[in-house]
A and B are shown apart, each in its own frame.
Chain A
Amino acid sequence: MLKQCPVIVKREILYMWRDRGLRNILIIGSLLGLFLFMGIYSQPRIDHISTAIVDLDKSGASRKVIAELKNTQDLEVVCYPDNFEQLEELIKRGQVTVGVVIPENYAKNIALQRQTKVAVFIDGANIIYATNAASAVLRVTRTLGAEVGVKTLIARGIQPDQAKEAYQSIDIREEAWFNPTLNYAYFLVLPLVLNIWQQCCMLASCMNIIGESGVRSWLQIKVSGVSTFKLFFYKSIVHVGIFMLIILPVYFLAFVVFKLPLNCGFITFLLFTLVFAISLHSVGTLISSFSRNAVDASRFGMVIALPSFVISGFTWPLAAMPQWFQPVAWVLPQTWFFQGINYLFFKNPGWEFMSCYFLTLGIMSIICYSLAALFTHGLKARFR
């Protein structure tokens, strides 16, 4: 049994090496992805959102508002258009995200305790920006309201400390757990790279059976009397081994060079990746066991692998998807994987919680491999 092992392993490695297209994809796909996404998210925090202020008042009070806006890290005042039309144009062209209009007679109205309105416009076309801009504006609104309110109260003859107290209700401390700086790169880069990696691996594993049974040399194998189980067992070991091998440099770059913070132990993370690689490979094997040819197998594989990231609920949360759809999403190993790495990467919730993820992926592999064996057996029978 063991004697044939190195021969099959060697042949499989040669086969994968000589499939030049696949080789390039496997070797550089994930690495290229890592550099690309690190580049895209090289400024991973949404602060300094470009803001334009139309100051129609140009008084001390209006400059206070501007100072208040400048004070927040989230907004960055980039220009001062003369009127609303210019501001509108800037927002339309996407050159600024936030526009603020301070009305004429702003200072005068405040002094006279007449109502006055500051208008804020936010470009909602990109809601990642809009959401953050809105948070910043809401905070400025509160401080601004308090400042003016205290002044108004004092002008009305209320004691200064009472006036302050009226507005100083509670101090709020805000903490973002697990990702305190709200770093978008931490959130998205590694999963996106892993997404590319899983697609590459899917392409490779889709060749597992059809790559063998779809070429004439399959006859040689059949005649040689080698057990199909043994053949595909060793082939699969090579595949999974290679999948792990190509993700190692990516992990090295991600955690050592780019210093992405990993909250769980590296070994656990690697182990989880391995379990997923096996389950992914089992799905690919299953697909390749019933496909007519390599192109169809790759197409099927991609039909699953492409939307799996979105389905996994990594970005748009699973909880926000329709009730009935959620169990469907959990059928894909990718859902378990992407949810799992989110927990491991940020939260490290402990073995008790994660064991369920490991277990499910394991069971999925067993099911898919068994089904693939069934189909392949049928295939063998057909050509007998």
Chain B
Amino acid sequence: MKQILNIAYYEVVQILKDRILFLIIFFVPLLYTLLLGMIYASSILQHVPLGIVDLDNSVESRNVVSAFENTNNFNVIPEIDTYAGLEKGMKNGTVRAGVVIPDDYSQKLSQHRLTQILIVYDGSNLIYGFNTRRYFQQVLNIFSADHTAAYLGGLGMSKQEITNVMDTVSVNMQVWYNPTYNYNTFIFPGLVILILHQIGLLGIGLTITREKERNSWIQYICAAVPQWKIFMGKALPYFIVNFFNYSLLLWVVARFVNVKVEGSLALILLLGLLFNIIITSLGFVISLYSSNSLQVVRYLMLLSIPLFFISGFTWPGTQMPALLYWLSRLLPYTWMAEGFRWVTVKDLGYNYLNITIIMLSIIAAVTLFFALTFSKRRNPPVGEGLVVNSRNTYPSRF
């Protein structure tokens, strides 16, 4: 135990001495979280810039206009008043949606003839596209209801009668887990886990490459200290820091970023624990088998985005080819991100997460196995071929 603590102590000393590493493991997770929190600060997409081309300019058409003006979802841009202007505005991004009311709108309406309103939205950014589409449906439902009520009123029906008729069937729509379509609640759990995953790996991923670069790895190899003690000692500081970051980010996200974090605390902690074991042991293994720090940094960082998208966090895995789906199921990130969402957003209990927990435990056992039983022998340094930056050196100012 004393040996482990000693190794841990000197690992901490090394972290403190490498200022950039220190910043990376203590501040970068928080920094990224705050940055993302800022980016998604508004969290609900509203005030979609809308151009209304009212070619009719009658009382009836102005009703349509006011229906759009009366909602927070749209922000009517008054400068756009011709079809050409709308086309241009859509092209240069001044507006993201448009409504075109034909010039014979009121006339046809009074003749009870069919008339058509055109609604357009920008499909080039589907976050706008999808939301705008929904907002249009909402406005139209309200508008249609108003129209029907007015028509029935014109037939001499009383208010009570009208409500009775119109409410015969009402559809009561409930959106569970994220009723306000909060983008933060949707994307943040995944991003936070990704940050912890990548920065966690990056921190411990350099622990042995660093020793190899300085040749001091030989001291570990030549001492009669068993592998598991080296791992435990070196991993301990990172394990604690990662867990600290996990709790810190959770707190920040729940407190300042307006993300829904619910669910059983015990489950959140259990998931965090398993995840953390995986990250520290996986990072250690990566470090063991990489030849230098440059390699670790390069490959790890590049993996972030593929990891996030393959995990099915935004685009479900069931929509992917089977091969990709099964590949994603081998990755700890996939399980953790999904499990974390289930607990914090959907507030599900143990019985829904048993497979996630089992899978995370299996992955943790595998990574731990490799971290605890590595061989204390190096491959002999190969007679230096014509390679650059692939050995345990890389360019550095001398």
> In the complex, are there CB atoms of A and B closer than 8 Å?
yes
A372 within 8 A of B: no
List residues 157-172 of chain A with CB under 8 A from any CB of chain B.
158, 162, 165-172
A307 interface neighbour in B20, B32, B173, Cβ under 8 Å: B32
User: In the complex, how many angstroms separate the beta carbon of A308 from the nearest chain B beta carbon?
Assistant: 11
Q: Is the CB of B165 within 8 A of A21?
A: no
Most B-side CB within 10 Å, residue of A148, A178, A303, A348? A178
**A158 and B155 form a contact (CB under 8 A):** yes
Chain B residues positioned under 8 Å from A298 (CB to CB):
294, 297-298, 301
Which B residue's beta carbon lies closest to that of A15?
B388
Residues of A within 8 Å of B, CB-based: how many? 129
Contacts of A173 in B (CB 8 A): 116-119
- Partner of A214 from the list B49, B148, B314, B395 (CB cut-off 8 Å) is B395
The answer to whether the Cβ of B324 comes within 8 Å of any Cβ in the partner chain is yes
Scan residues 84-142 of chain A and give those whose CB is less than 8 A from a CB of chain B. Answer: 91-93, 109-110, 113-132, 134-135, 137-142
In the complex, B226 has a CB within 8 A of chain A: no
**Contact between chains at B168 and A207 (CB < 8 Å):** no
Smallest distance from the beta carbon of A73 to chain B beta carbons, Å? 13
Contact: A113 with B164, CB < 8 Å?
A: yes
> Does the CB pair A138–B123 fall under 8 Å?
no
A165 to B388 Cα, complex, angstroms: 78
- Evaluate contact between B386 and A309: CB separation under 8 angstroms: no
* Residues of A contacting B144 in the complex (Cβ-Cβ under 8 angstroms): 142, 146, 167, 169-170
A258 at the interface (CB under 8 A from B): no
**A192→B298 contact, CB < 8 A:** no
Write the A167-202 contact mask toward B (1 if CB under 8 angstroms, else 0): 111111111111111111001100010011001100
For the complex formed, measure the closest distance between the CB of B123 and the CB atoms of chain A, giving whole angstroms.
3
User: How far is it, in angstroms, between the C-alpha of A174 and the C-alpha of B116 when the chains are bound?
Assistant: 10
A353→B125 CA distance, assembly (Å) = 18
A134 touching B134 in the complex, CB below 8 Å, given contacts A18-B386, A176-B123: yes
A269 in the interface, Cβ–Cβ < 8 Å? no
Residues of A within 8 A of B173 (CB): 120, 122, 134, 137-138, 141
B176 contacts A36, CB within 8 Å? Answer: no
The one of A109, A126, A171, A183 in contact with B116, judged by C-beta atoms closer than 8 angstroms, is A171
**Shortest beta-carbon distance from A128 to chain B in Å:** 6
- In the bound complex, do residue A125 and residue B123 qualify as a contact, i.e. CB atoms below 8 Å apart? no
User: How would residues 24 to 65 of chain A score, 1 for a CB under 8 Å from any chain B CB and 0 otherwise?
Assistant: 010001000100110111110010000000000000000000
Interface positions, chain A 342-358, Cβ under 8 Å from B, are 342-343, 345-350, 353
B126-152 near A? 1/0 per residue, CB < 8 Å: 111111011011101101110110011
Nearest first, the 5 A-B pairs at minimum CB distance are A179-B123, A214-B395, A293-B396, A124-B178, A346-B124
